[in-house]
Amino acid sequence: MDKMLLGRYINGESLIHHLDPRGKLFLSFYFIVIVFLCNNWETYVLMAAMVMLFVKLSDISLGFFIKGVRPLIWLILFTVLLQIFFSSGGQVFWHFGPFTITDQGLINGVFVFCRFVLIIFMSTLLTLTTTPIEISDGLESLLKPLTKIKVPVYEIALMLSIALRFVPTLMDETTKIMNAQRARGVNFGEGNLLKQIKSVIPLLIPLFVSSFNRAEDLATAMEARGYHGGEGRTKYREQEWRKNDTLAVILFIALTGALIFLRN
C-alpha cells in the first residue's frame, strides 16, 4: 500500500507547480491530443524535448517519472509487439503465418512506445505538481459551461474532491485495522480461499463503520457551516490566471504549429 506512486503530489515551488491548475489540466489533455500528430522522428524528438524541458522545470527528479511508467509496462510492451508483428509495408525481415516483421513495423513499434512514454510522463507531471484538490477545482471550472445543459458539475466536483481527500485517510485506516487484526492472530493473504475470504471480514466491517461515521461527521460539519451546493458559492482557494499561464498556452500553440510543419 505504501508503494503507490502513481498520482502522488510532491510539494514544490517550481514554475510548473505554480501554474494555474485549469491551464495545466487543459494543456495536459491537449498534449495527449497533439501527440497523435507525431508521425516521424523529427516530431517525436521535438515532443520529447518539450517533455524533458517540463520535467526540468518541475524540479522533480526523473526517477519519479520513470516509476510512473513501470506499472503500465506490460500494456505498453503488448501494444508495441502488436505493432511490430502486424504492421505491413516496407522491407520484410521475417514472415510466419499471420506474423510479419517489416522495417515499417519496427519503426511503428518504437513510435508507439514513445507515444506511451510521452503521455505517461505528461500525466505524471500533472499529478506530481498539482494537488488532487486543485485538480478537482480546475475540472469544476473547466466543466462549468456544462451546467447549462443540466450536468450536475458542482456535485460531481464535490464528490470527486471528497473522494480524493479521503483516499489517503482510508489507506491509513486500512493499514491500522489490518495491523490490529494481525496482532489478534489474523493472517491476511494466507491459507485456502475460504480462509482468505473470512479474513477480509474483520477488515471490511471496521472500515465500513468508520467510513459511515466519517461521512456522517462530514455531512453534519458541512450543514452546520451552511453548505448548500455550488451556485454562488465563493472559494477559499482562488485560481488565478497569470502571465506564465498565458505563456504556456502560447508555447503549446507554437508547438502545434511546429508539429504540423514537421510531420509528413
Contact residues for other proteins, defined by CB under 8 A: 2-3, 5, 8, 61, 63-64, 67, 173, 176-177, 179-187, 190, 201-202, 205-206, 209-210
Q: How far is the CB of 68 from other proteins (least distance, A)?
A: 11
Lookup: cell for 155? 456535485
Greatest C-alpha distance within the chain: 72
Beta strands in the chain (DSSP E): 92-96, 99-102
Lookup: cell for 41? 522522428
What residue type is assigned to position 39 of the chain? N
Q: How far is the CB of 185 from other proteins (least distance, A)?
A: 3
Q: How far is the CB of 65 from other proteins (least distance, A)?
A: 11
Closer of 158 and 207 to other proteins (Cβ): 207
Q: Are the beta carbons of 142 and 22 closer than 8 angstroms?
A: yes
Lookup: cell for 198? 473470512
Q: Are the beta carbons of 130 and 9 closer than 8 angstroms?
A: yes
| Rounded CA Rg of the chain | 24
Q: Are the beta carbons of 51 and 122 closer than 8 angstroms?
A: yes
DSSP 3-state of 93 = strand
| Cross-strand partners of 172 | none
Q: How far is the CB of 133 from other proteins (least distance, A)?
A: 20
Q: How far is the CB of 63 from other proteins (least distance, A)?
A: 6
DSSP 3-state of 60 = coil
Closer of 44 and 65 to other proteins (Cβ): 65
Closer of 11 and 91 to other proteins (Cβ): 11
Q: How far is the CB of 162 from other proteins (least distance, A)?
A: 21
Closer of 42 and 173 to other proteins (Cβ): 173
Q: How far is the CB of 4 from other proteins (least distance, A)?
A: 10
Place of cell 455550488: 230
Q: Are the beta carbons of 105 and 84 closer than 8 angstroms?
A: yes
Closer of 156 and 177 to other proteins (Cβ): 177
